[in-house]
Amino acid sequence: MTVLAPHDVAIVAQSIARMGESVFADLECLRAVTVAALTEDPSRRGLGPLEPLCADLLTRPGQLPVGCGFVAARDALRDAPYWLEWWTVPGNGQASVPSRLQVVVDPDADDFRDYTSLPWFAVPMSTGARHTTGPYVDYLCTDEYALTFSVPVTAGGAFRGIVGADVFVRHVEQRTLSQIEALPGTVTLVNSQGRVLVSNDGVTDTGSLVRDVPVAAMWAAPDGDVVDQGGAVLYRCGDLPLALLVTR
């Protein structure tokens, strides 16, 4: 019989929470610089000060994000109806100079995608609060299975867009799998919908939805870091919409 060690599970959940919070801390700097830039000159050129900060954020040793930047609300810039000031690195472990993401921003083009309806933009726009999207296939920026952390940007009392950071799910796995493997029992890192990031049980695939445990319903339970239901226990990763699900 497996003996669960709840204390250890909670520690791993906390370390995952810290990982996410460090991304949000970086985004807080990026948000402040963006607000200043937009107040000074709300144009593509005016966003110049973002580049060195994004470059630093992506290339500092041990950094998790592979992409970050500012995504403008419709007509937030005076010289472009849509705009992504977004920088990326390949995320393959090789040191490299960040490059600016090129996206179709002409609303009349056939392959234009109106990003303002995508969750990483639409949710912070409507709630005014930070948001973690995914895991999902990020076909606009990275073409990879990713998480996107985003924070709304307001200036002069109006919503101007979001600052965000992309993180590859495989990088989250690299940083968590050894800890999760070391835990006794079946442990799966899931989002608030029960979408799997990584599991130690060998049959629960990344990207699948946990269906035998009602994760979304457990998530809606009153506050508390640990939710126990019918033998399945959810250890929340702080305030992130991520949790470790422990099943027998």
Partner 1 sequence: MTKTTPARLSRGARAAVFAPLDPLGRAEVVTRRLSDAIALGLLHDGEQLPSESALAERFGVSTVTVREALTVLRQRGLVETRRGRAGGSFVRAPEDPAVAVLRARLRELSLGDIRDLCDHYAAINGAAARLAADRASPEDVERMDHDTGLLAEASDAGSRRRAEGQFHVELAAAAQSARLTKEEIALQTEVAPLLWMGYDDESARRQAVERHRQITVAVTRGDSSAARSAAEAHVVDGLRRLSRLHRELARG
Residues found near partner 1 in the complex (CB under 8 A): 108, 110-113, 117, 119, 135-137, 139, 143-145, 193, 195, 206-209
CB of residue 207 to partner 1, shortest distance in Å: 3
CA 147 vs. chain centroid, Å, equals 4
The whole-angstrom separation of Cα 111 and Cα 134 is 23
Tokens representing residue 224 in the block? 């508390």
The whole-angstrom separation of Cα 195 and Cα 216 is 10
Q: How far apart are the first and last CA of the chain?
A: 10
Q: Kindly tell me which of 134 and 161 has the beta carbon lying closer to partner 1.
A: 134
- Residue among 3, 23, 6 nearest 175 (CA): 23
Q: Kindly tell me which of 99 and 139 has the beta carbon lying closer to partner 1.
A: 139
Q: Kindly tell me which of 4 and 209 has the beta carbon lying closer to partner 1.
A: 209
Q: Kindly tell me which of 39 and 139 has the beta carbon lying closer to partner 1.
A: 139
CB of residue 235 to partner 1, shortest distance in Å: 21
Name residues whose C-beta falls within 8 Å of residue 132's C-beta, 6 or more positions apart in sequence: 20, 147, 148, 149, 150, 191, 240, 241, 242
CB of residue 1 to partner 1, shortest distance in Å: 32
